[in-house]
Structure 1
Amino acid sequence: MANIIKSLAAVGIVTLLSGCAGSPKAVILNPSYAAGQVTTINLPVSVKVEDLRTSKFTVKVLDKEPAVYLPDANLPVTLSALINDAFSANGANIVKNANVQITVQVQQFLALISETYTKHESNAQAEFVVTVTKGQSTFVKSFTGNRKLTGSLKHDQAKVEGQLNVLAQQLVTHMIKDQELIQFISQ
Protein backbone atom coordinates (compact mmCIF):
# COMPACT_ATOMS: atom_id res chain seq x y z
CA MET A 1 0.00 0.00 0.00
CA ALA A 2 2.83 2.38 0.90
CA ASN A 3 4.56 1.63 -2.42
CA ILE A 4 1.37 2.46 -4.33
CA ILE A 5 1.07 5.78 -2.52
CA LYS A 6 4.74 6.57 -3.21
CA SER A 7 4.28 5.67 -6.88
CA LEU A 8 1.19 7.86 -7.18
CA ALA A 9 3.01 10.71 -5.43
CA ALA A 10 5.97 10.35 -7.81
CA VAL A 11 3.67 10.37 -10.85
CA GLY A 12 1.87 13.43 -9.44
CA ILE A 13 5.13 15.30 -8.89
CA VAL A 14 6.41 14.46 -12.38
CA THR A 15 3.10 15.62 -13.87
CA LEU A 16 3.21 18.81 -11.84
CA LEU A 17 6.79 19.56 -12.81
CA SER A 18 6.17 18.85 -16.48
CA GLY A 19 3.31 21.35 -16.33
CA CYS A 20 5.72 23.93 -14.95
CA ALA A 21 8.25 23.37 -17.72
CA GLY A 22 8.86 26.37 -19.90
CA SER A 23 6.38 26.52 -22.72
CA PRO A 24 6.99 28.47 -25.90
CA LYS A 25 6.19 32.12 -25.41
CA ALA A 26 5.87 33.29 -28.99
CA VAL A 27 2.31 33.32 -30.28
CA ILE A 28 2.13 31.97 -33.81
CA LEU A 29 -0.93 32.87 -35.86
CA ASN A 30 -1.86 31.67 -39.32
CA PRO A 31 -5.48 32.54 -40.14
CA SER A 32 -6.77 31.83 -43.63
CA TYR A 33 -9.77 33.17 -45.49
CA ALA A 34 -12.16 30.35 -46.31
CA ALA A 35 -15.53 31.99 -47.01
CA GLY A 36 -14.92 32.19 -50.75
CA GLN A 37 -16.61 34.76 -52.96
CA VAL A 38 -19.53 36.34 -51.13
CA THR A 39 -19.61 39.64 -53.04
CA THR A 40 -18.12 41.22 -56.15
CA ILE A 41 -15.77 44.17 -55.81
CA ASN A 42 -13.88 44.32 -59.17
CA LEU A 43 -11.83 47.39 -58.20
CA PRO A 44 -8.21 48.06 -57.35
CA VAL A 45 -7.80 48.62 -53.60
CA SER A 46 -4.88 49.14 -51.27
CA VAL A 47 -4.91 47.59 -47.81
CA LYS A 48 -2.96 48.70 -44.76
CA VAL A 49 -3.11 47.20 -41.25
CA GLU A 50 -2.09 49.25 -38.20
CA ASP A 51 -1.59 47.71 -34.76
CA LEU A 52 -2.97 50.32 -32.34
CA ARG A 53 -3.29 48.09 -29.28
CA THR A 54 -2.09 49.77 -26.09
CA SER A 55 -0.69 46.47 -24.81
CA LYS A 56 0.98 44.43 -27.51
CA PHE A 57 0.49 41.02 -25.88
CA THR A 58 -1.72 38.55 -27.67
CA VAL A 59 -2.23 35.92 -24.95
CA LYS A 60 -2.32 36.67 -21.24
CA VAL A 61 -2.66 34.09 -18.50
CA LEU A 62 -4.30 35.78 -15.54
CA ASP A 63 -2.93 35.22 -12.02
CA LYS A 64 -0.03 33.09 -13.29
CA GLU A 65 3.65 33.55 -13.96
CA PRO A 66 4.70 34.24 -16.61
CA ALA A 67 1.60 36.34 -17.00
CA VAL A 68 2.17 37.67 -20.50
CA TYR A 69 3.16 35.82 -23.64
CA LEU A 70 5.19 37.67 -26.21
CA PRO A 71 3.06 39.08 -29.01
CA ASP A 72 3.05 37.77 -32.53
CA ALA A 73 5.52 40.27 -33.96
CA ASN A 74 4.01 39.72 -37.40
CA LEU A 75 0.40 40.45 -36.39
CA PRO A 76 -0.06 43.35 -38.86
CA VAL A 77 1.58 41.30 -41.64
CA THR A 78 -0.50 38.21 -40.80
CA LEU A 79 -3.77 40.16 -40.72
CA SER A 80 -2.84 42.07 -43.87
CA ALA A 81 -2.33 38.79 -45.74
CA LEU A 82 -5.69 37.52 -44.47
CA ILE A 83 -7.50 40.70 -45.51
CA ASN A 84 -5.75 40.79 -48.90
CA ASP A 85 -6.81 37.16 -49.51
CA ALA A 86 -10.40 38.01 -48.60
CA PHE A 87 -10.60 41.01 -50.92
CA SER A 88 -8.82 39.15 -53.74
CA ALA A 89 -11.23 36.21 -53.42
CA ASN A 90 -14.05 38.71 -53.92
CA GLY A 91 -12.69 40.26 -57.09
CA ALA A 92 -10.58 43.14 -55.77
CA ASN A 93 -7.20 43.84 -57.30
CA ILE A 94 -4.74 44.53 -54.45
CA VAL A 95 -2.28 47.29 -55.40
CA LYS A 96 -0.08 49.63 -53.39
CA ASN A 97 -1.57 52.94 -54.50
CA ALA A 98 -5.25 52.72 -55.36
CA ASN A 99 -8.07 55.24 -55.28
CA VAL A 100 -9.78 53.03 -52.69
CA GLN A 101 -7.60 52.85 -49.58
CA ILE A 102 -8.61 50.46 -46.80
CA THR A 103 -6.98 50.90 -43.40
CA VAL A 104 -7.69 48.32 -40.71
CA GLN A 105 -6.74 49.49 -37.23
CA VAL A 106 -6.36 46.69 -34.71
CA GLN A 107 -7.74 48.18 -31.49
CA GLN A 108 -7.90 44.87 -29.61
CA PHE A 109 -6.76 41.32 -30.34
CA LEU A 110 -6.07 39.11 -27.36
CA ALA A 111 -7.00 36.02 -25.42
CA LEU A 112 -7.33 36.29 -21.64
CA ILE A 113 -6.93 32.93 -19.92
CA SER A 114 -7.97 32.03 -16.40
CA GLU A 115 -6.82 28.72 -14.96
CA THR A 116 -7.75 26.71 -11.89
CA TYR A 117 -6.48 23.31 -10.80
CA THR A 118 -9.17 21.52 -12.77
CA LYS A 119 -10.03 23.72 -15.77
CA HIS A 120 -9.16 26.72 -17.90
CA GLU A 121 -11.15 29.29 -19.83
CA SER A 122 -9.89 31.45 -22.66
CA ASN A 123 -11.84 34.54 -23.70
CA ALA A 124 -10.62 35.95 -27.00
CA GLN A 125 -11.64 39.46 -27.99
CA ALA A 126 -10.98 41.46 -31.12
CA GLU A 127 -11.88 44.88 -32.45
CA PHE A 128 -10.92 46.14 -35.89
CA VAL A 129 -11.79 49.66 -37.04
CA VAL A 130 -11.99 49.81 -40.83
CA THR A 131 -11.53 53.15 -42.56
CA VAL A 132 -12.10 53.33 -46.30
CA THR A 133 -10.93 56.46 -48.08
CA LYS A 134 -12.15 57.03 -51.61
CA GLY A 135 -11.17 60.41 -52.99
CA GLN A 136 -12.58 62.98 -50.56
CA SER A 137 -15.06 60.54 -49.00
CA THR A 138 -14.42 58.43 -45.90
CA PHE A 139 -16.29 55.50 -44.40
CA VAL A 140 -15.52 54.16 -40.90
CA LYS A 141 -16.95 51.06 -39.26
CA SER A 142 -15.95 48.98 -36.25
CA PHE A 143 -16.04 45.17 -36.24
CA THR A 144 -15.88 43.28 -32.95
CA GLY A 145 -15.92 39.64 -32.02
CA ASN A 146 -15.51 37.24 -29.12
CA ARG A 147 -14.72 33.55 -28.82
CA LYS A 148 -14.74 31.42 -25.71
CA LEU A 149 -12.74 28.24 -25.18
CA THR A 150 -12.88 26.01 -22.11
CA GLY A 151 -11.06 22.84 -21.22
CA SER A 152 -9.73 20.75 -18.42
CA LEU A 153 -6.49 21.44 -16.56
CA LYS A 154 -3.95 23.84 -18.06
CA HIS A 155 -4.54 25.66 -21.36
CA ASP A 156 -3.02 24.40 -24.60
CA GLN A 157 -1.29 27.26 -26.39
CA ALA A 158 -1.95 25.74 -29.82
CA LYS A 159 -5.70 25.65 -29.10
CA VAL A 160 -5.63 29.29 -27.98
CA GLU A 161 -3.76 30.21 -31.17
CA GLY A 162 -6.44 28.33 -33.12
CA GLN A 163 -9.11 30.27 -31.24
CA LEU A 164 -7.44 33.56 -32.27
CA ASN A 165 -7.09 32.36 -35.88
CA VAL A 166 -10.83 31.59 -36.06
CA LEU A 167 -11.67 34.96 -34.48
CA ALA A 168 -9.56 36.84 -37.05
CA GLN A 169 -11.15 34.84 -39.87
CA GLN A 170 -14.65 35.60 -38.57
CA LEU A 171 -14.03 39.34 -38.32
CA VAL A 172 -12.57 39.53 -41.82
CA THR A 173 -15.51 37.50 -43.16
CA HIS A 174 -17.92 39.93 -41.46
CA MET A 175 -16.04 42.80 -43.12
CA ILE A 176 -16.35 41.24 -46.57
CA LYS A 177 -20.05 40.48 -46.05
CA ASP A 178 -20.85 43.95 -44.68
CA GLN A 179 -23.17 45.56 -47.23
CA GLU A 180 -22.47 49.16 -46.15
CA LEU A 181 -18.72 48.67 -46.47
CA ILE A 182 -18.91 46.93 -49.84
CA GLN A 183 -21.42 49.46 -51.17
CA PHE A 184 -19.12 52.35 -50.22
CA ILE A 185 -16.13 50.66 -51.84
CA SER A 186 -18.05 49.83 -55.02
CA GLN A 187 -19.87 53.14 -55.60
Structure 2
Amino acid sequence: MKNYILPCCILLALGGCSSSQPNQLILNPVYQSGKVSSINQSLSTSVIDLRGDPATLKLIKSDKTQTIASQGITESIKSILDSALSRNGASISNLATTRFEVDIHTLQAVVTEQMVTHISNAKIELGVRVIRSSSNFSKIYRGNANLEGPLGHDRAKIEGQLNKLTEQLITRMVSDPELLAFLEG
Protein backbone atom coordinates (compact mmCIF):
# COMPACT_ATOMS: atom_id res chain seq x y z
CA MET A 1 0.00 0.00 0.00
CA LYS A 2 2.82 2.40 0.90
CA ASN A 3 4.35 1.87 -2.55
CA TYR A 4 1.26 3.44 -4.19
CA ILE A 5 0.85 6.52 -1.97
CA LEU A 6 3.98 8.41 -3.03
CA PRO A 7 3.47 8.01 -6.82
CA CYS A 8 -0.19 9.06 -6.46
CA CYS A 9 0.78 12.17 -4.47
CA ILE A 10 3.38 13.11 -7.07
CA LEU A 11 0.90 12.67 -9.93
CA LEU A 12 -1.70 14.80 -8.14
CA ALA A 13 0.84 17.55 -7.49
CA LEU A 14 2.10 17.55 -11.06
CA GLY A 15 -1.43 17.45 -12.45
CA GLY A 16 -2.36 20.55 -10.45
CA CYS A 17 0.70 22.43 -11.74
CA SER A 18 0.22 21.60 -15.39
CA SER A 19 -3.40 22.73 -15.62
CA SER A 20 -2.90 26.14 -14.06
CA GLN A 21 -2.27 28.81 -16.66
CA PRO A 22 -2.16 32.54 -16.00
CA ASN A 23 -5.58 34.12 -16.37
CA GLN A 24 -4.42 36.59 -18.99
CA LEU A 25 -3.04 36.50 -22.49
CA ILE A 26 0.21 38.35 -23.12
CA LEU A 27 0.07 40.54 -26.20
CA ASN A 28 3.54 41.81 -27.06
CA PRO A 29 3.91 42.25 -30.83
CA VAL A 30 7.30 43.33 -32.16
CA TYR A 31 7.84 45.17 -35.45
CA GLN A 32 10.41 43.20 -37.45
CA SER A 33 9.74 44.26 -41.05
CA GLY A 34 12.36 47.01 -41.15
CA LYS A 35 12.09 49.94 -43.53
CA VAL A 36 9.23 49.38 -45.99
CA SER A 37 8.42 53.02 -46.79
CA SER A 38 9.59 56.59 -46.27
CA ILE A 39 7.51 58.65 -43.85
CA ASN A 40 9.22 61.99 -43.31
CA GLN A 41 6.66 63.42 -40.90
CA SER A 42 6.40 64.39 -37.27
CA LEU A 43 3.44 62.48 -35.83
CA SER A 44 1.58 62.37 -32.55
CA THR A 45 0.27 58.82 -32.01
CA SER A 46 -2.50 57.41 -29.85
CA VAL A 47 -4.34 54.10 -29.52
CA ILE A 48 -7.90 53.74 -28.24
CA ASP A 49 -9.52 50.42 -27.30
CA LEU A 50 -13.08 50.45 -28.67
CA ARG A 51 -13.71 46.71 -28.41
CA GLY A 52 -17.16 45.77 -27.16
CA ASP A 53 -15.76 42.50 -25.82
CA PRO A 54 -12.60 42.89 -23.70
CA ALA A 55 -11.70 39.19 -24.01
CA THR A 56 -8.53 38.58 -26.03
CA LEU A 57 -8.99 34.81 -25.86
CA LYS A 58 -12.33 33.03 -25.94
CA LEU A 59 -11.87 29.33 -25.12
CA ILE A 60 -14.83 27.17 -26.11
CA LYS A 61 -14.97 23.63 -24.75
CA SER A 62 -17.89 21.27 -25.18
CA ASP A 63 -19.86 22.48 -22.19
CA LYS A 64 -18.40 25.87 -21.24
CA THR A 65 -16.80 29.06 -22.51
CA GLN A 66 -13.91 30.75 -20.75
CA THR A 67 -12.79 34.29 -21.58
CA ILE A 68 -9.32 35.66 -20.92
CA ALA A 69 -8.31 39.32 -21.19
CA SER A 70 -4.96 40.99 -21.80
CA GLN A 71 -3.54 43.81 -19.78
CA GLY A 72 -2.03 46.79 -21.57
CA ILE A 73 -3.35 46.16 -25.08
CA THR A 74 -3.35 49.87 -26.01
CA GLU A 75 0.24 50.24 -24.77
CA SER A 76 1.35 47.16 -26.76
CA ILE A 77 -0.27 48.42 -29.97
CA LYS A 78 1.13 51.94 -29.44
CA SER A 79 4.62 50.50 -28.88
CA ILE A 80 4.63 48.51 -32.14
CA LEU A 81 3.00 51.41 -34.02
CA ASP A 82 5.62 53.91 -32.80
CA SER A 83 8.39 51.43 -33.62
CA ALA A 84 7.07 50.84 -37.17
CA LEU A 85 6.56 54.55 -37.87
CA SER A 86 10.01 55.45 -36.48
CA ARG A 87 11.80 52.75 -38.48
CA ASN A 88 10.16 54.14 -41.59
CA GLY A 89 11.35 57.70 -41.03
CA ALA A 90 8.62 59.32 -38.91
CA SER A 91 9.47 61.19 -35.74
CA ILE A 92 7.05 60.59 -32.87
CA SER A 93 6.27 63.68 -30.80
CA ASN A 94 3.35 64.71 -28.59
CA LEU A 95 3.82 68.23 -30.00
CA ALA A 96 3.31 67.19 -33.65
CA THR A 97 0.38 68.82 -35.43
CA THR A 98 -0.42 65.68 -37.44
CA ARG A 99 -2.24 63.12 -35.28
CA PHE A 100 -2.05 59.39 -36.10
CA GLU A 101 -4.82 57.64 -34.17
CA VAL A 102 -5.52 53.91 -34.09
CA ASP A 103 -8.79 52.45 -32.81
CA ILE A 104 -8.88 48.79 -31.80
CA HIS A 105 -12.24 47.48 -33.01
CA THR A 106 -11.50 43.74 -32.70
CA LEU A 107 -8.54 41.82 -31.31
CA GLN A 108 -9.45 38.30 -30.31
CA ALA A 109 -8.66 34.62 -30.79
CA VAL A 110 -11.53 32.17 -30.49
CA VAL A 111 -10.26 28.68 -29.67
CA THR A 112 -12.59 25.71 -30.02
CA GLU A 113 -11.36 22.59 -28.27
CA GLN A 114 -12.73 19.18 -29.15
CA MET A 115 -11.76 15.73 -27.93
CA VAL A 116 -8.57 15.31 -29.98
CA THR A 117 -8.06 18.67 -31.71
CA HIS A 118 -8.33 22.43 -31.34
CA ILE A 119 -8.87 25.28 -33.80
CA SER A 120 -7.94 28.91 -33.20
CA ASN A 121 -9.48 31.69 -35.29
CA ALA A 122 -7.86 35.07 -34.66
CA LYS A 123 -9.39 38.33 -35.91
CA ILE A 124 -8.03 41.84 -35.66
CA GLU A 125 -9.61 45.03 -36.93
CA LEU A 126 -7.82 48.36 -36.51
CA GLY A 127 -9.17 51.71 -37.62
CA VAL A 128 -6.71 54.45 -38.54
CA ARG A 129 -7.34 58.18 -38.54
CA VAL A 130 -4.73 60.69 -39.59
CA ILE A 131 -5.84 64.20 -38.65
CA ARG A 132 -4.35 67.43 -39.93
CA SER A 133 -5.67 70.93 -39.47
CA SER A 134 -7.21 71.00 -42.95
CA SER A 135 -7.86 67.33 -43.84
CA ASN A 136 -8.42 63.84 -42.46
CA PHE A 137 -7.71 60.29 -43.63
CA SER A 138 -9.37 57.15 -42.28
CA LYS A 139 -9.18 53.49 -43.18
CA ILE A 140 -9.92 50.10 -41.63
CA TYR A 141 -7.31 47.32 -41.62
CA ARG A 142 -8.50 43.74 -41.03
CA GLY A 143 -6.67 40.47 -40.63
CA ASN A 144 -7.55 36.83 -39.90
CA ALA A 145 -5.37 33.88 -38.98
CA ASN A 146 -6.27 30.25 -38.36
CA LEU A 147 -4.34 27.65 -36.40
CA GLU A 148 -5.17 23.99 -35.90
CA GLY A 149 -3.47 21.45 -33.69
CA PRO A 150 -3.86 18.20 -31.79
CA LEU A 151 -5.35 17.95 -28.30
CA GLY A 152 -5.71 21.12 -26.19
CA HIS A 153 -4.45 24.56 -27.19
CA ASP A 154 -1.03 25.92 -26.28
CA ARG A 155 -1.40 29.43 -24.85
CA ALA A 156 2.01 30.50 -26.19
CA LYS A 157 1.01 29.54 -29.74
CA ILE A 158 -2.22 31.56 -29.47
CA GLU A 159 -0.24 34.56 -28.16
CA GLY A 160 2.20 34.12 -31.06
CA GLN A 161 -0.68 33.96 -33.54
CA LEU A 162 -2.13 37.28 -32.28
CA ASN A 163 1.30 38.95 -32.05
CA LYS A 164 2.20 37.92 -35.63
CA LEU A 165 -1.18 39.04 -37.00
CA THR A 166 -0.82 42.40 -35.23
CA GLU A 167 2.64 42.88 -36.72
CA GLN A 168 1.31 42.04 -40.20
CA LEU A 169 -1.46 44.63 -39.90
CA ILE A 170 0.91 47.34 -38.65
CA THR A 171 3.32 46.54 -41.51
CA ARG A 172 0.45 46.77 -43.99
CA MET A 173 -0.52 50.10 -42.44
CA VAL A 174 2.92 51.76 -42.69
CA SER A 175 3.37 50.54 -46.28
CA ASP A 176 -0.15 51.41 -47.50
CA PRO A 177 0.14 53.57 -50.66
CA GLU A 178 -3.09 55.50 -49.85
CA LEU A 179 -1.92 56.35 -46.34
CA LEU A 180 1.55 57.29 -47.55
CA ALA A 181 0.12 59.53 -50.29
CA PHE A 182 -1.99 61.34 -47.67
CA LEU A 183 1.01 61.83 -45.38
CA GLU A 184 3.11 63.20 -48.25
CA GLY A 185 0.36 65.54 -49.51
TM-score for the superposition, normalised by structure 2: 0.88
Distance 2:51 2:95 in 1: 26
The DSSP-based 3-state class of the residue aligned with 1:29 is coil
CA RMSD of aligned residues (A): 1.8
C-alpha distance after superposition, 1:93-149 (max 9, x if no partner)? 000121210110000000000001100000000000001101120111000000111
1:141 equivalent in alignment to 2:110: no
Stretches of structure 1 that go unaligned for 5 or more consecutive residues are 1-9
What is the one-letter code of the residue matched to 1:86? A
Percent identity between the two aligned chains:
35
Distance 2:73 2:49 in 1: 8
Shift of 1:73: 1.7
The DSSP-based 3-state class of the residue aligned with 1:40 is coil
1:119 equivalent in alignment to 2:113: no
Given candidates 76, 83, 86, the residue that maps to 1:85 is 83
Distance 2:70 2:114 in 1: 26
Q: Is the 8 A contact 1:48 1:104 kept in 2?
A: yes
Given candidates 87, 93, 96, the residue that maps to 1:95 is 93
What is the one-letter code of the residue matched to 1:173? T
1:67 equivalent in alignment to 2:62: no
**Partner in structure 2 of residue 186 of structure 1:** 184
Q: Is the 8 A contact 1:113 1:122 kept in 2?
A: yes
TM-score for the superposition, normalised by structure 1: 0.87
Cα gap change, 1:35/1:148 in structure 2, threshold over 3 Å: closer, same or farther?
A: same
The DSSP-based 3-state class of the residue aligned with 2:67 is coil
The DSSP-based 3-state class of the residue aligned with 2:182 is helix
Stretches of structure 2 that go unaligned for 5 or more consecutive residues are 1-7
Q: Is the 8 A contact 1:134 1:185 kept in 2?
A: no
The DSSP-based 3-state class of the residue aligned with 2:163 is helix
**Partner in structure 1 of residue 5 of structure 2:** none
Distance 2:41 2:133 in 1: 14
**Partner in structure 1 of residue 26 of structure 2:** 28
Shift of 1:166: 0.2
Shift of 1:62: 1.5
Shift of 1:186: 1.7
